[in-house]
Structure 1
Amino acid sequence: MVLTAAMLVTEAMSISLCNINTNDLEKCRPAVAGRNPPPPGPDCCAVVKAANIECGCKYKFYLSSYGINPSKAKAVIASCGARIPSCFRRLKN
């Protein structure tokens, strides 16, 4: 899920992936990148709750190459009140 958000920085076209429009993933980018990201906003949490996060697990290993910290992605998922998928459970916050 979050990997696709990183790709959107250079792509204007939107596709549906893991039950969401990929353009909407950009709403979460500030909360998963950088050293001290802000907490996710309501728009980001709406995206997280609509997403099939288990589906996004197959992209987890590509996150760091796009400047996204997988542990921060896990924290955003938890902060938004969504169920943390198995592929993120072992990551430290």
Structure 2
Amino acid sequence: MVMARNVVIVVVLLFAVIQDSKAALCNIDDKGLAACKPSVSQPNPVEPSEECCEALSGADLTCLCSYRNSFMLPALGIDPDLAMGLPAKCNLTPPSTC
């Protein structure tokens, strides 16, 4: 029952993001998320682009860290470990709680 509820929540969230072209996740807009996705996706992640790092520099890193153990990241094709390492690759200091 809990799994079904979680799936419904993800579907609703994804639908909301798709419907709103100006959607943002933790202060990163859809363009920034798209720029960073190749750096946090398996099997062949790439170094983050300048556009990705620029988007990440304006992000709420504490908010992003809250997704570390979420099932949402893998469901979106994002490797949580790669995602958590992205700030350091962009010369940003992640929150100590991350």
TM-score with structure 2 length normalisation? 0.67
Please state how far the C-alpha of 1:79 moved relative to its aligned partner. Answer: 0.4
Structure 2 runs not aligned, ≥5 long: 1-13
Letter in 1 for 2:77: G
Structure 1 runs not aligned, ≥5 long: 1-6, 88-93
Please state how far the C-alpha of 1:69 moved relative to its aligned partner. Answer: 0.8
> Separation in 2 of the partners of 1:50 and 1:72?
19
1:50 aligns with: 58
Please state how far the C-alpha of 1:56 moved relative to its aligned partner. Answer: 1.8
Please state how far the C-alpha of 1:64 moved relative to its aligned partner. Answer: 1.5
Confirm or deny that 1:73 pairs with 2:83.
Answer: yes
Cα RMSD between the aligned structures? 2.2
Correspondence for 1:18 among 26, 29, 33: 26
Deviation per residue, 1:23-81 (Å, 9 max, x gap):
32111000000122110010000011110110122323121222211111122211001
Query: How many residue pairs end up in the alignment?
Result: 80
Identity in percent: 32
1:84 aligns with: 94
Please state how far the C-alpha of 1:19 moved relative to its aligned partner. Answer: 2.7
> Separation in 1 of the partners of 2:24 and 2:46?
26
Q: Which protein, 1 or 2, shows the higher relative CO under an 8 Å CA cutoff with sep ≥ 6?
A: 1
TM-score with structure 1 length normalisation? 0.70
| 2:36 aligned counterpart, secondary structure | helix
Rg comparison, structure with higher value:
2
| 1:59 aligned counterpart, secondary structure | coil
